[in-house]
Amino acid sequence: MWKEKLLSQRSNIAYWSPLILIIFLISLHTTPFAEITQEFGNGDIETQSKQEYFTDSVIITSQSEDSFGENNSDYFGGEYSQSYSYKQANSPELPLEDSAETLDGRLGLITMSCFILVLFCFMNRKEEININRFVSFNSIKGYLMLFIGVISLISVFTITSGLSNYSDEIAGSDMDWDVDEGIWGSATVEFESPFSGESITINMEWDPDFMMLALFVFSMIALIGGIANISYLKGDLEIEDAPIWIKDSKTFSLANSHSVAALWIVLTVAIIGSVATPWQTI
């Protein structure tokens, strides 16, 4: 019983999954893929900073009083952020730079594929695409979504590989780090200052950021949506498709004739804005 109900939703999955992909695409362009937190202790002085790694830059967030001093905290309270490009990255960060460059190229490929997907959805609204059994609207959507899903899933492993290599760089450095290696890793080192003789402690923690989770969910939606669309190629499947939510609603049929198209247009403009418009300032 539950299996039949689940399979009957194939039509909804096939229809709505591209729209959900477009929404998720925006988050891929605006979230970091990795984060490193660093704590520095020197006697009574303790500072903390957070580095967020995006595909095009690194954002460092610190407490204002750590940089400007407690006496100026009334004027420079809270946190402040600064950005630098990967051209200024030091040796341990090179694996993350490689991951950022790879992810940037993959996101461009995913975005272009999503634009093609949107284009086919608009074309099909005017005239149904159905050349033959293997070249139809559902099959083209399925091929594109499977491609997007595979590229997105590979990108997840690009992030984990970069963090793993970063962990190896820290473990192999000249400093005597006590390293807990891995994707979710940490490192601690303690040494004496050559000037004051005081003990200096540095703690670091690194882990994947929101982009990895977004990419994984994005890939699952694309793969499931792709399979749902490709399944229409198998004509001997006895599946009774349920009505498509909103689209097949009789109550809102008049409004839906224009609202769905309007929604696609708004989302397309949102994608262009998220990719082309600067979202951070230096």
Query: Cα(43)–Cα(200) distance, rounded to whole angstroms?
Result: 7
| Cβ pair 99, 84 in contact under 8 A | no
- Please name which of 5, 278, 22, 265 lies closest in space to residue 141, comparing C-alpha atoms: 22
pLDDT digits (tens, 9 = 90+) for 62-112: 876 655 555 555 555 567 788 888 888 777 888 999 999 999 999 999 999
Residue 265 corresponds to which tokens in the numbers above?
A: 């247009």
Listed range (130-139, 144-153, 155-164) with the worst mean pLDDT: 130-139
Average predicted confidence (pLDDT) for the chain: 80
Q: What is the pLDDT of residue 254?
A: 47
pTM: 0.81
> E strand or H helix at 236, and its extent?
none
Handedness of CA 102, 183, 177, 38 (dihedral sign): positive
Residue 259 pLDDT grade (very low, low, confident, very high; cuts 50, 70, 90): low
Q: What is the pLDDT of residue 175?
A: 84
Quick one: DSSP state of residue 188? E
Quick one: DSSP state of residue 173? S
- Please name which of 85, 111, 92 lies closest in space to residue 27, comparing C-alpha atoms: 111
pLDDT digits (tens, 9 = 90+) for 164-198: 999 999 988 888 889 998 999 999 999 887 777 78
Q: What is the DSSP string of 116-147?
A: HHHHHHHHHHHS--BSSSSSBHHHHHHHHHHH
